């Protein structure tokens, strides 16, 4: 009996040691990532492009940390080392950190982690090399755009008045169809392609001398089209009435900008079409307040709107 008791005690101790050493209480990073992406898709219903980007950065973390690595084995130091490996690509480093913060946030909510380790890392500094667009430069570019394809000034006006992104401007239709994401009715309705956020804008909205209703009427011309921003003349791969591709919008704006002689400030790159969104948010903030600017931009977080209001030193601050 004494011998059996000793043997049993020895076996029990060995089993406990085996469990503690070989079966960590936390899940693997691969499991945590899968749950995070599942929540983003099914619970938060993020847009397809956003999900694709989250999956891409998540896989990059999985490769760096190892899918079989348990969450309890990952330290802040290890996260910093991974971020440092992107030292020559600060924008990617910033995206990686943001992704990690979101992943650990879900891990904490699931009870798999006690603290958000990623949030304890320092955010990489990104120097934006593109100039902000001022209202004066917008008007100069718009004047030149009026001498080019008719859709260029219309696209610029829609972007300024609605504060929407390039892809959403290109998607606006005169009527709502089965797969329509942006359309004109009693208001301008936009389901944003990047976030899925829904924005409804009154047609009498005005800013900087432009009016949304007037611009929409100007989009109706002699060419039959379902799109507000459409080709007037035939192109290599497009015919009159076809939707203008987003890259074509970028190039059309650049043509008008170069004709206007607008260049980058302080050695920066000249402003792109996307900068109209920032200009619009700044103008609405000044004329109608921060809440209106945040609402029309479709931002859920005021901090995001604040990024667009940052003039990056490209505009004079008026005192008095």
How many other CB atoms are found less than 10 A from the CB of residue 107? Answer: 25
> What is the three-class DSSP state of 110?
coil
One of 36, 154, 165, 257 is an active-site residue; which one? 165
Q: Is 308 a catalytic residue?
A: yes
Rounded distance between C-alpha atoms, residue 161 and residue 168, angstroms: 13
One of 59, 187, 255, 274 is an active-site residue; which one? 274
Contacts of 175 (CB under 8 A, 6+ apart): 183, 184, 185, 226
One of 86, 277, 282, 284 is an active-site residue; which one? 277
Rounded distance between C-alpha atoms, residue 9 and residue 11, angstroms: 6
Contacts of 80 (CB under 8 A, 6+ apart): 121, 122
Q: Is 299 a catalytic residue?
A: yes
Rounded distance between C-alpha atoms, residue 138 and residue 120, angstroms: 41
Contact 219, 229 (CB under 8 A): yes
One of 194, 255, 268, 288 is an active-site residue; which one? 194
| Residue whose C-alpha is closest to residue 159's, from 74, 255, 272, 237 | 272
Q: Measure the CA angle with vertex 213, ends 189 and 258; round to 5°.
A: 95
Active site residues: 165, 194, 274, 277, 299, 308
């Amino acid at each position: 009996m004494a011998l059996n008791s000793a043997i049993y005690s020895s076996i029990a101790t060995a089993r406990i040691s085996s469990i503690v050493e070989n079966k960590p209480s936390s899940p693997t990073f691969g499991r945590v990532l899968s749950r995070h992406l599942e929540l983003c898709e099914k619970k938060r219903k993020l847009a397809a492009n956003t999900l694709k980007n989250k999956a891409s950065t998540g896989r990059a973390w999985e490769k760096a940390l190892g899918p079989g690595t348990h969450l309890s084995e990952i330290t802040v130091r290890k996260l910093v080392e991974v971020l440092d490996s992107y030292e020559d690509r600060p924008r990617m480093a910033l995206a990686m950190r943001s992704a990690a913060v979101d992943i650990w946030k879900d891990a904490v909510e699931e009870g798999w982690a006690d603290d958000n380790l990623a949030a304890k890392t320092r955010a990489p500094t990104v120097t934006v090399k593109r100039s902000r667009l001022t209202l004066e430069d917008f008007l100069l570019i718009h004047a030149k755009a009026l001498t080019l394809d008719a859709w260029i000034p219309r696209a610029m006006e829609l972007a300024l008045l609605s504060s929407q992104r390039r892809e959403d401007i290109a998607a606006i239709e005169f009527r709502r169809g089965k797969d329509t994401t942006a359309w004109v009715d009693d208001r301008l309705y936009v389901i944003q392609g990047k976030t899925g956020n829904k924005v409804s804008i009154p047609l009498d909205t005005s800013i900087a001398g432009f009016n949304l209703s007037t611009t929409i009427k100007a989009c109706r011309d002699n060419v039959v089209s379902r799109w507000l921003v459409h080709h007037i003349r035939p192109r290599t791969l497009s015919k009159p009435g076809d939707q203008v591709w987003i890259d074509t919008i970028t190039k059309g704006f650049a043509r008008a900008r170069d004709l206007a002689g607008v260049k980058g400030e302080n050695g920066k790159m000249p402003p792109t079409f996307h900068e109209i969104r920032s200009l619009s948010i700044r103008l609405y903030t000044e004329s109608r307040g921060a809440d209106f600017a945040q609402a029309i931009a479709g931002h859920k977080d005021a901090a995001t709107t604040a990024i667009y209001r940052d003039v990056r030193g490209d505009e004079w601050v008026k005192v008095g």
